[in-house]
Chains A and B, each alone.
Chain A
Amino acid sequence: MLVQFYNVSKVYSNGVKALDDISLKIDKGEFIFLMGASGAGKSTLVKLLFREELPTRGQIFLASRSVVRMKRAEVPKLRRNVGIVFQDFKLLENKTVSENVAFAMEVVGANTRDIKQRVPEVIKMVSLQGKEDSFPGELSGGEQQRVGIARALVNRPVLLIADEPTGNLDFETSTGIMELLYDINRKGTTVIMATHARELVKVAHKRIITLEKGKIASDNADGESIA
């Protein structure tokens, strides 16, 4: 088991109950769609995995380590095993594509030689060759999202979390991003993707977890029953 949730609830400080008694298990190598209406709790669930938020109740394990009880000093280690693709990209505007990707390696203390070797590799993986020296402001939305994916992948995470990676992209571009994520998953990385995009999910035949007002409404192993 890579991920385990036991009776997890999350109540924000303003009293909003975002997650209500969630229990679920995710195996190594799975590809998971996390669906649900806006406000259903998708982002909250995902944030608990890398401890951006802490649950109000319940236990969460990642690779058998308790995410909830771990010491503050151990959190960086947890996060280095998780790659995160943010819905709003979170690219640094004053850094080029290469620098944004290299940044993720620099901040975990990788040495210069490894960075020089690895960064072009992942840039090639996300098909951004030729854009290495562009700044985020000079890229399209799809290209920026691919930079975000490259950055999430560069440290070879065991788990890739993508919160609406196709959020504001057209269907064509979204399909390209999806192909990229499937490819990453085929190479062994577990992927959890939160999304609204039914048309992408429908054709994917992957496990779909649907949230409704903070509860799991359905957990469908092959994605067949999605309307």
Chain B
Amino acid sequence: MRAGSIFYFFREAFKSLSRNKLLSFATISTISVCILIIGIAVLITLNTGNFITQLESDVEIVAYMDKDLTSESVTDIGEQIKEIQGVKAINFVPRDDALKKLQKNIGGKEYDLKATLGKNPLPDTYEIKASNPHDVASIAGEVGKISGVYKVNYGKGFVEKLFNATRWIRIISLVFIALLVLGAIFLIATTIRLAIFARRKEIYLMKLIGSTDWFIRWPFIIEGILLGVLGAVVSIAILLAAYSSLLNNIETMSFLPLITSSSILRNFYLSLLAAGGVLGVLGTFISINRFLDV
């Protein structure tokens, strides 16, 4: 492609933008509404994902030791657990600490459990976190095989249900976003088709006098990128304002763990910007081809 042609493509794109102000405005509005809806859906998905990741990472394995082990063999078991594939961290809770904790939960110092029961009924325990919470079942199995481990508990049944639910939430939100994107492509292509339709005679003439398909496409594609990015900018501005005011107002309610990481949010907004450009190009590409068939 020649430098002169590139200049021509940009000149034509800008000319067309300013010539069809109403259609440009309509396209920008369509794109920004689409991106806004997709953006909201993605934000909800991200935050839900964040929330369920947190839920999942709360899942841990508790391994109870046999009561008559020496402290060396308890330490040794700890070492063995650490060596199991997929174990992220372990936390040793000595039986005395466990008892204190229990006592505190039941209520007050004056009620001395140890005195009441004669001796500490609780075993030493290890709390085990998995690198991937989905591996807890198999890790729990491994831990259970170590001799000296009396019992392993990881919320069997509940954990499986939780993971099943979170998997479905993820799948459904992805499918939903994919459908939104498809709808957006269709809607944007239809709007852009109007703009191209207004210039069909010019395109037809260009074809008859020997211009190539790409020569005709480029200005429209540049126009599509510009319209898409402009539309995305509008929707990003709205989302930025809405989300930050949401964060400010909801800060106190810490049970809703909203994403505040600026790097995640920045990537999110940049992706929306790119999505605007891509939607503009796709819409143009889909719409223009039928006019080139001369």
Task: For residue A209, give the distance in angstroms from its CB to the closest CB of chain B.
Answer: 23
A52 to B205 Cα, complex, angstroms: 11
Within 8 A of B (CB), among A68-116: 73, 76-80, 82, 84, 90, 92, 94, 104, 106-109, 111-112
Instruction: Return chain A residues, CB-CB under 8 Å to B266.
Output: none
User: Would you give the shortest CB distance from A169 to chain B, in whole angstroms?
Assistant: 21
Contact of A84 among B19, B208, B211, B215 (CB under 8 A): B208
A112 adjacent to B212 (CB under 8 Å): no
Chain B residue numbers with a CB within 8 Å of A52 are 208, 294
Number of interface residues of A (CB under 8 A): 22
Given that A76-B212, A109-B215 are contacting pairs, would A90 and B205 also be in contact in the complex, using a CB cutoff of 8 Å? yes
Tell me if A5 is interfacial: C-beta within 8 Å of chain B.
Answer: no
- B8 close to A (CB within 8 Å): yes
Task: Classify the secondary structure of A's interface with B.
Answer: mixed
User: Is there an interface contact between B208 and A108, defined as CB atoms closer than 8 Å?
Assistant: no
Of A77, A92, A104, A112, the contact of B202 (CB 8 Å cutoff): A92
What band does the interface of chain B fall in when counting residues whose beta carbon is under 8 Å from A? Answer: 10 to 19
Instruction: List A contacts of B19 (CB < 8 A).
Output: 94
- B145 in the interface (beta carbon within 8 A): no
Contact indicator A109/B208 (Cβ below 8 Å): no
B209–A109 CB distance below 8 A: no
Interface of B is mostly: helix
User: Which chain A residues lie closer than 8 Å to B2 at the CB level?
Assistant: 109, 111
Assess A112 versus B211: contact at CB under 8 Å? Given A52-B294, A90-B205: no
Q: Is A31 an interface residue (CB 8 A)?
A: no
Query: Which residues, 195 to 215 on B, are CB-close (under 8 Å) to A?
Result: 201-202, 205-212, 215
> How many A-B contacts if CB must be within 8 Å?
45
A107 touches B208 (CB 8 A): no
Q: Cα distance A214–B294 when bound, in Å?
A: 23
Question: What sequence of 0s and 1s flags, for each residue 177-210 of chain A, a beta carbon within 8 Å of any chain B beta carbon?
Answer: 0000000000000000000000000000000000
Cα distance, A133 to B261, chains bound together (Å): 59
- CB–CB B211/A107 < 8 A: yes
Partner of A76, one of B4, B5, B202, B210: B210
> Do A79 and B209 contact each other (CB < 8 Å), given the known contacts A52-B294, A92-B202?
yes
Docked pose: A106 CA to B4 CA in angstroms: 10
Contacts of B294 in A (CB 8 A): 52
B99 to A: closest C-beta gap in Å: 83
Hey, which chain A residues are within 8 Å of B206, CB to CB? 107
Q: Which residues of A contact B211 (CB under 8 A)?
A: 76, 107-108
Residues of B within 8 A of A111 (CB): 2, 4
- The reply to whether the CB of A33 lies closer than 8 angstroms to some CB of chain B is no
Roughly how many angstroms separate A80 CA and B202 CA in the complex, as a whole number? 17
Indicate which residue in B8, B207, B212 contacts A106 across the interface (CB closer than 8 Å): B8
Cα distance A6–B294 in the bound complex, in angstroms: 23
Q: Which residues of A contact B208 (CB under 8 A)?
A: 50, 52, 79, 84, 90
Complexed CA–CA distance, A73 and B211 (Å): 11
Report whether B215 and A107 are in contact in the complex, using a CB–CB cutoff of 8 Å. Answer: yes
Smallest CB gap from B292: residue in A: A72
- List chain B residues, Cβ under 8 A from A82: 210
The distance in angstroms between the C-alpha atoms of A79 and B215, with both chains bound, is 15
What is the distance, in angstroms, from B11's C-beta to the closest C-beta of chain A?
10
Whether A84 lies near B209 (C-beta < 8 A) is yes
A112 to B7, CA, bound (A): 11
Chain B residue at smallest Cβ distance from A78 = B210
Complex contact A79–B205 (CB within 8 A): no
Q: Complex Cα distance A134/B210, Å?
A: 25
CA distance A32 to B266 in the complex (A): 68
Query: Which residue of B is nearest A91, CB measured?
Result: B205
Kindly state the separation between the CA atoms of A112 and B206 in the bound complex, as whole angstroms. Answer: 18
| Docked-complex contact A107 and B210, CB < 8 angstroms | yes
Q: Kindly report which residue of chain B lies nearest to residue A104, judged by CB atoms.
A: B209
Q: Cβ of B201 and Cβ of A90 under 8 Å apart? A: yes
Cβ–Cβ < 8 Å partners of B209 in chain A: 79-80, 84, 104, 107-108, 151, 155
Q: Could you give 21 example pairs across A and B, Cβ below 8 Å?
A: A52-B208, A52-B294, A73-B212, A76-B210, A76-B211, A76-B212, A79-B208, A79-B209, A80-B209, A92-B202, A94-B19, A107-B206, A107-B209, A107-B216, A108-B210, A108-B211, A109-B4, A109-B5, A109-B215, A111-B2, A111-B4
* Additional A-B contacts beyond A90-B205, A111-B4 (9; CB < 8 A): A50-B208, A76-B210, A79-B207, A106-B8, A107-B206, A107-B211, A109-B2, A109-B4, A109-B215
